[in-house]
């Protein structure tokens, strides 16, 4: 383990921003840009040695190239709803990369070229409402990343009428959105090959970099097999990992038999945390409490997992709604048992506390769910809530 001086609060804040944001633009956030720029040497050394990441410091922006060990659904662009959105977005990037900085273009120009570049078996049809909505989502995302900016007009009008025009301008950031790859993209046949190529340039300490990436990017790291080498590394070096992470980030490392995770002793608004402020989290905590209280009734395998049928899961939701539901928000008090179960299942899967077997449909409760529970205080007035 490489020793390095503890980061002060501002340097920890800087590394937090690099993890949480795609990039920091000098034009829109000069204070943060300058804060990171002043700590460039320390930050570059740390993210390179621990995670194998490149810190790009450009005169217009700062960006840390974040590459996961395994991609997760939440890592995508949340506003996108179909693969078509991503395809149109990439075609839009190809369009802007061939334009000069500050060059202006019309919506009709980019739609024409996106139509020509689109790789789908069926062509795009801008008279189709769903295709127009996909384009709106893609171009709004490009605007959010400030790859392009609108000079005149509103892209939302295009969803209602394909004849609408908008005038756009290419920004200086257009050519820097995509990261560079060891080989031309045409050399790769699958997404897995692209991810695997990342480790070809990591000549030293691959295991440590994999572990740091997993811990920093995942809600929890599980022991996936008896001989899981990444989890064995965490178990064997947990004290050194804990000391290093606490010295350079606001996180604390917790390691259990089958799970390891980073926790924050104090809630910080910058981070996406479990539980968050959404009302569904109360239900997730009650679900966790129920599972722990009834652990003796379940079969727990060697990896701390519990298998449930969808009927079993629905029954638990009914039980916790009957027990705790009077304290839930009105939205969930009025929902049917089935609707609550559907939403809860999605949340637990998103936070990697549950997964679903594709072949059987069985739900697997993963061990980290027991780390956080929630109950009402002893003086909770259920009758008063019902009144």
Domain CATH number, residue 306: 1.10.10
Residues 307 and 349 in one domain: yes
Report the C-alpha gap between 179 and 175 in whole angstroms: 9
Q: Reduced to 3 states, what is the DSSP secondary structure of residue 126?
A: coil
Residues 146 and 225 in one domain: no
Residues 97 and 151 in one domain: yes
Report the C-alpha gap between 238 and 251 in whole angstroms: 14
Residues 235 and 143 in one domain: no
Query: Does some domain include residue 307?
Result: yes
- The one-digit pLDDT tens for each residue of the chain (387 residues) are 445 568 988 999 999 999 999 999 999 999 999 999 999 999 999 999 999 999 999 999 999 999 899 888 888 898 999 999 999 999 999 999 999 999 999 999 999 999 999 997 889 999 999 999 999 999 999 999 999 999 998 888 888 888 889 999 999 999 899 887 777 777 888 888 888 888 877 778 899 999 999 999 999 999 999 999 999 999 999 999 999 999 999 899 999 999 999 998 877 767 777 878 788 999 999 999 999 999 989 999 999 999 999 999 999 999 999 988 888 999 999 999 999 999 999 999 999 999 999 889 899 999 999 888 787 787 775 554 544
Domain that holds residue 222: 9-67+201-263
Q: What is the DSSP letter of 115?
A: H
Sign of the Cα pseudo-torsion (107, 110, 112, 114, in order): negative
User: CB–CB of 3/243 below 8 Å?
Assistant: no
Maximum pairwise Cα distance, the chain: 67
Residues 82 and 165 in one domain: yes
The DSSP bridge partners found for residue 170 are: 148
Residues 89 and 53 in one domain: no
Give DSSP secondary structure letters for 54-112: -EEE-SSEEEE----SS--GGGS-TT--SHHHHHHHHHHHHHHHTS-TT-EEEHHHHHH
Residues 168 and 236 in one domain: no
Residue 64, phi then psi, degrees to nearest 5:
-105, 120
- Cβ contacts of 229 within 8 Å, gap of 6 or more: 207
Residues 86 and 50 in one domain: no
Query: Does some domain include residue 53?
Result: yes
pTM over 0.85: yes
Residues 305 and 359 in one domain: yes
Residues 255 and 337 in one domain: no
- Cβ contacts of 280 within 8 Å, gap of 6 or more: 332, 343, 344, 347
Query: Does some domain include residue 189?
Result: no
Query: Does some domain include residue 193?
Result: no
Query: Does some domain include residue 187?
Result: no
Query: Does some domain include residue 3?
Result: no
- Would you state the pLDDT for residue 363? 96
Q: What is the DSSP letter of 7?
A: P
Query: Does some domain include residue 188?
Result: no
Query: Does some domain include residue 186?
Result: no
Helix, strand, coil share of the chain (percent; to 5): 50, 10, 40
| Tokens standing for residue 105 | 């273009």
- Would you state the pLDDT for residue 387? 46
Number of domains in the chain: 3
Burial class (CB in 10 A: 0-12, 13-18, 19+), 91: buried
Between β-strands 252-255 and 259-263, what pairing exists: parallel, antiparallel or unpaired?
A: antiparallel
Using only C-alpha atoms, the chain has a radius of gyration, in whole angstroms, of 24
């Amino acid at each position: 383990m490489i020793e390095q001086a503890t980061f002060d609060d501002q340097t920890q804040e800087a590394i937090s921003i690099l993890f949480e944001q795609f990039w920091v633009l000098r034009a829109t956030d000069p204070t943060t840009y300058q804060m990171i720029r002043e700590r460039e040497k320390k930050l570059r050394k740390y993210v390179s040695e621990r995670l194998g990441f490149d810190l790009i410091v450009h005169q217009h922006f700062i960006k840390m190239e974040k590459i996961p060990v395994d991609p997760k659904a939440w890592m995508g662009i949340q506003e996108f709803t179909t693969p078509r959105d991503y395809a149109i977005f990439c075609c839009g990037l190809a369009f802007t990369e061939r334009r000069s900085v500050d060059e202006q273009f019309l919506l009709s120009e980019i739609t024409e070229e996106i139509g020509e570049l689109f790789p789908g078996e069926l062509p795009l049809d801008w008279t189709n409402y769903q295709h127009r909505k996909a384009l709106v989502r893609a171009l709004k995302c490009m605007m959010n990343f400030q790859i392009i900016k609108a000079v005149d007009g509103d892209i939302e009008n295009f969803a209602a009428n394909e004849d609408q025009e908008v005038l756009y301008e290419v920004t200086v950031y257009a050519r820097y959105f995509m990261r560079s790859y060891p080989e031309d993209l045409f050399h790769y046949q699958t997404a897995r090959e692209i991810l695997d190529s990342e480790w070809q340039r990591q000549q030293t300490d691959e295991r440590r970099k994999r572990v740091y990436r997993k811990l920093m990017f995942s809600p929890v790291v599980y022991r996936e097999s008896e001989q899981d080498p990444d989890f064995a590394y965490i178990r064997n070096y947990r004290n050194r990992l804990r000391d290093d992470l606490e010295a350079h980030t606001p996180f604390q490392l917790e390691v259990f038999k089958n799970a390891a995770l980073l926790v924050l002793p104090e809630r910080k608004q910058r981070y996406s945390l479990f539980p968050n402020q959404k009302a569904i989290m109360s239900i997730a905590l009650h679900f966790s409490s129920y599972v722990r209280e009834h652990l003796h009734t379940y079969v727990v395998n060697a990896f701390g997992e519990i298998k449930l049928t969808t009927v079993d899961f629905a029954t638990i939701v009914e039980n916790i709604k009957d027990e705790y539901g009077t304290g839930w928000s009105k939205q969930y008090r009025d929902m049917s048992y089935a609707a609550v179960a559907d939403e809860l299942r999605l949340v637990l899967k998103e936070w990697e506390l549950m997964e679903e077997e594709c072949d059987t449909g069985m739900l697997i409760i993963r061990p980290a769910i027991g780390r956080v529970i929630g109950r009402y205080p002893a003086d909770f007035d259920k009758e008063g809530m019902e009144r």
